[in-house]
Structure 1
Amino acid sequence: MLKMSTRTEAMSDKQVRAQYTREFKLEAVRQVRAGQAIAGVAKVLGIPKASLGNGVRLAAKGALGGSGGSDKADRVSPEQMEIARLRAEVARLRMERDIAKKAAAYFAQDTLRGTPGLTQ
């Protein structure tokens, strides 16, 4: 009886390959071409880095396709595009914030070292 339940679980654990619309792929590639790191864009958009890297290479060749050709899947709502754009902007702003924090800590440490009477 245990074997049957294990077999059923194994059948239901099939991985489904994600399909992305052409517009989604193009937007992701546009963000990479704009200077953002592939890893960062992939993380923000929730896609594998390898998929995004393949998309960038295909776009460079002019061979970037859509998601199987169905009309319904090719449509991306303006809200979805706005969400993708905002996620990318949030990632960029977080990166800038982290850089500013590190710079402030560096200069604060430098200032403390130059203070007379302070021993470290």
Structure 2
Amino acid sequence: MGLFDQLTEMVSGQQAGGLGGALSDLLNQQGGVSGLVEKFQSGGLGEVVNSWVGSGENLPVSAEQVQQVLGNEQIAGLAEKLGIEPGQLAQNLSESLPQLVDKLTPGGQVPAAGDNLLSQGLEAIKGLFGH
């Protein structure tokens, strides 16, 4: 079970599912927050992802940009697990990723592995899913 699965389970009292599970899978596949940030930077969206990490306003990202950076295969695989269309997942991710990365990068810094991720992740999940 990945970190975000554990966090979602702790917050909701049940197994991670839906978008929380997709976010967990995505972070695990990318090597955590730092890997996800690097992927967006190398995909030409450095200014966008840096706004999520920084302390200012989060710039928006479109579903198409999410799908372009993460790749059709990865989006399709996650969408299949959730039983939704890839386009819907990309749209959901475009709405959730800026908030998630913002909450997991306090002080404008991408946390090093093991840097109090449990408490940060709990707060992020609570904020995203309203628990």
Greater helix fraction, Structure 1 or Structure 2: 2
- Structure with greater Cα Rg: 1
TM-score range, shorter chain: under 0.3
Calculate the TM-score normalised by the size of structure 2.
0.22
